[in-house]
């Protein structure tokens, strides 16, 4: 990575990638953006981004390449079928901020190392609000020296912590998503309980905040459930993808995680029976509500 201000290429400018790009541009980083739907990348031009026609074009000459894509398979396709790995200069750093399986992250790290490219898997938590505010929790896996050089790049986007070698960032994200998914289920059950029992859900939420039940999920998603506001920040389909990866990873290392399995089953039912895949993951409340008709 260059000792001067690094040149950044950001691949994937959707709900999360676009505000992350704006944060980097506002911090003074020269940035080239690419997205499969070009219009999403072009929206960043007014903020100072250069827009590339292809992913490979975007990364030529970049010191740091950030990927924020839909899945492990998409990241693999863009990196190794889309010409990105070949186009990246030796000594550059690939920071994958997508949520992908830990095993896929380790494979990408090895394949890029063979080309002289450093690698960090650095998924995030905090949703679109955190991306806009630059307050994302960033969980990074990779070599300590590579992480240290990347800290200034992470800074405009949020708080980064190195949690271990390659793949560890993705394990941390799975831990985060298990807590998020299960806690959304707990908050949904609690609010449905008080609503059906005759109490005021909004007042109950206010009453228990600040006690041991306090959490970001109760604060943000509890309000969403009460107001029935399911405009997506984190989508149901994304929560399903992450829970499926949690269960699959647990199987690989011989763990039984019954709470994650139960919540996954309910999210799948929500998606399939209520056509709610594109709603915010707080919409799990609707699955519990439908499972308990009046």
Catalytic residues: 173
3-state helix, strand, coil in the chain (%, to 5): 55, 15, 30
Distance (Å, whole) CA 266 – CA 84: 38
Contact 55, 82 (CB under 8 A): yes
Residue 43 to residue 15: CA distance in whole angstroms: 12
Crossing angle (nearest 10°) for helices 102-113 and 236-252: 80
Phi, psi of 195 (to 5 degrees): -65, -50
Euclidean distance between CA atoms 1 and 4, whole angstroms: 9
Inter-helix orientation angle 102-113/168-197, to 10°: 160
3-state SS assignment for residue 231: coil
Residue 287 Cα distances to 15, 186, 195, 232, 274, angstroms: 25, 13, 15, 16, 8
Give the Cα separation of 264 and 246 in Å (integer). 10
Structure tokens given for 34: 């690419």
């Amino acid at each position: 990575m260059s000792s001067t201000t690094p040149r950044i290429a950001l691949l994937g400018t959707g709900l999360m990638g676009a505000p992350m790009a704006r944060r980097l541009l506002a911090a003074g980083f020269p940035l080239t953006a690419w997205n499969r739907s070009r219009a999403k990348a072009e929206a960043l031009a007014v903020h100072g981004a250069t827009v590339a026609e292809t992913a490979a074009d975007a990364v030529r000459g970049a010191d740091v390449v950030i990927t924020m894509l839909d899945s492990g398979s998409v990241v693999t396709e863009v990196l190794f079928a889309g010409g990105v790995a070949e186009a990246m200069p030796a000594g550059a750093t690939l920071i994958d901020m997508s949520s992908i399986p830990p095993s896929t992250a380790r494979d990408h790290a090895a394949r890029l190392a063979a080309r002289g490219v450093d690698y960090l898997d650095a998924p995030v938590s905090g949703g679109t609000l955190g991306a806009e505010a630059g307050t994302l929790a960033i969980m990074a896996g990779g070599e300590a020296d590579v992480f240290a050089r990347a800290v200034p790049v992470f800074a405009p986007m949020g708080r980064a912590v190195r949690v271990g070698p390659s793949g560890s960032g993705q394990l941390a994200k799975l831990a985060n998503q298990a807590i998020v998914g299960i806690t959304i289920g707990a908050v949904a059950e609690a609010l449905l309980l008080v609503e059906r029992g005759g109490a005021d859900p909004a007042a109950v939420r206010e009453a228990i905040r600040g006690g041991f039940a306090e959490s970001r999920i109760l604060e943000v998603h509890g309000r969403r459930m009460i107001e029935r506001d399911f405009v997506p920040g984190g989508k149901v389909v994304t929560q399903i993808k992450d829970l499926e990866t949690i269960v699959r990873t647990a199987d690989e290392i011989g763990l039984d995680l019954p709470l994650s399995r139960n919540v996954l089953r309910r999210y799948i039912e929500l998606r399939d029976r209520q056509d709610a895949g594109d709603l915010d993951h707080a919409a799990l409340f609707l699955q519990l509500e439908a499972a308990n008709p009046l």
